[in-house]
Amino acid sequence: QKEVEQDPGPLSVPEGAIVSLNCTYSNSAFQYFMWYRQYSRKGPELLMYTYSSGNKEDGRFTAQVDKSSKYISLFIRDSQPSDSATYLCAMNNFNKFYFGSGTKLNVKP
């Protein structure tokens, strides 16, 4: 069993839609939870990170962590074509980081 599971998609939505991206994990020792956006042929860009269970909002993005269910989500409101990318979830246990395989998102104009 992988430490972090993420649906690879692809996920295709119309512009303006609310997007929900999700990951599950198995290790209750994970401490910080991150979401990255990766455009084609570029390095991953950190979008948000959070420590505790609950919600964290940054503009159109909301990260949600439920440690009791070992489940994290990223919501994108009013999605734009520029949001089309691969989204990676990640989490860490001290010095080591564990990544989902990424969900490819396509926002259609």
Torsion of CA 90, 109, 18, 70, to 10 degrees: -20
**Contact with other proteins (CB under 8 A) among 15, 45, 57, 78:** 45
CB of 93 to other proteins, least distance (A): 9
Which C-beta is closer to other proteins: that of 43 or that of 109? 43
Q: What is the DSSP string of 26-40?
A: --TT---EEEEEE-T
* Signed CA dihedral, 66, 61, 3, 13: sign only: positive
Considering only 12-20, 28-36, 63-71, 76-84, which stretch makes contact with other proteins by CB under 8 A?
28-36
Could you give the angle at the alpha carbon of 83 between the alpha carbons of 43 and 106, nearest 5°?
Answer: 100
Q: Which of 24, 49, 60, 73 binds other proteins (CB under 8 A)?
A: 49
Give the count of residues interacting with other proteins (CB under 8 A). Answer: 22
For residues 15 and 84, give the distance between their C-alpha atoms in angstroms, rounded to a whole number.
Answer: 10
Q: Which residues bind other proteins (CB under 8 A)?
A: 32, 34, 36, 41-46, 49, 51, 88, 90, 92, 94-97, 99-102
